[in-house]
Structure 1
Amino acid sequence: MRLHLIGIGKAKAGAEREMTLRYLERASQAGRALGFSSVDLKEIEESRARRGEDRKSQEAKAIRDHLPSGGVLVAFDEHGRTMDSEAFAACLGAARDSGKSVMTLVIGGADGLAPDLTASAAHIIAFGKMTWPHQLVRIMAAEQIYRAMTILAHHPYHRA
């Protein structure tokens, strides 16, 4: 199974980008032995529309243009449900075991995700009740993907 992380906006060079890429590289390496053939990041340009609803709509269209058919869609959204790391790992493992070829995890821009996009997601996940900048959510999602791989591999990285 392939994992795609799609984020709105391009992370600038520096610590944010380096951390995201470091966790995704670790996840990709750990995941190969677990049946996850790749973990990729796709950055989509932010919409320049004036209104927030228009930006979300345009960004949702751009995300849909990059969604592979027949895959599982997971949305990271502040209105989603919270999930612990073990449950997230189980979610990835169940999708892999179901025979799906790809899971796409999406992070919206500063305005969030369009409701019609989140409505089509198999899971809508929030990183708690606080609002987080979308660039930090990208790092947290990348780390949780890596953590999920270590949980599935029974590696001691996750010490819960």
Structure 2
Amino acid sequence: MNVKILCVGKIKEKFYTQAIDEYAKRLSKYCSLSIVEVPDEKTSENASDTEMAIVKDKEGQRLLKHINDRDFVIGLAILGQQLDSVAFSKYIENLGIQGNSSIVFVIGGSLGLSDDVYSRCDYQISFSKMTFPHQLMRVILLEQIYRAMRIMKNEPYHK
């Protein structure tokens, strides 16, 4: 299975980078993982709704360039479906059974995903109703993908 994490912005903090590297190393046993970062747009503190929409659209177009027609796209969205770890694992496993060998998870920037990106998503998932920094969300997502793979292989995992 090919898993791509497609995200807006670079990771600047060393502790996030270390956690991402650790989970990428662990996941190499289970899947082919790639992480693609697209540049974020600068947004002023008092940006209007129109300016924020323009920012999301620019970031969205950058994200869409990295999605192929055959990719199964899962957008991370506050209003997406909330699953526990076992259900998430079963969902990913079923995608593979159905022939979806390329899964792309999309993490938006500070303003979220554009409407065009949401339209391209085959599924939307939420890890919480809370908002997380996109850098931390990348770590959380990788940990949950790793946990899902261990569950699929009937390997022990922390409940």
Alignment partners' CA distance in 2, 1:3 and 1:20: 14
How far apart are residue 117 of structure 1 and its match?
A: 1.3
Match of 1:120 in 2: 120
Task: Tell me which amino acid in the other structure corresponds to 1:44.
Answer: V
Counterpart contact for 1:49–1:55, Cα < 8 Å:
yes
Q: How does 1:1-160 map to 2 (within 5 A)?
A: 1-29=1-29, 31=30, 36=31, 38-48=32-42, 51-159=51-159
Give the number of equivalent residue pairs. 153
How far apart are residue 45 of structure 1 and its match?
A: 0.9
Q: Which runs of 4+ in 1 moved over 4 A?
A: none
Q: Which moved more, 1:93-102 or 1:45-54?
A: 45-54
Alignment partners' CA distance in 2, 1:21 and 1:57: 29
Q: Which moved more, 1:44-53 or 1:104-113?
A: 44-53
Percent identity over paired residues: 31
Please give the TM-score of this superposition, normalised by the length of structure 1. Answer: 0.89
Alignment partners' CA distance in 2, 1:85 and 1:24: 18
Structure 1 gap ranges (5+) = none
Q: What does the per-residue CA deviation read over 1:25-65, in whole Å, with 9 as the maximum and x for residues that have no partner?
A: 21121x1xxxx3x0111111102366221111111111110
Counterpart contact for 1:80–1:126, Cα < 8 Å:
yes
Structure 2 gap ranges (5+) = 45-50
Report which of the two structures shows the higher radius of gyration computed on alpha carbons: 2
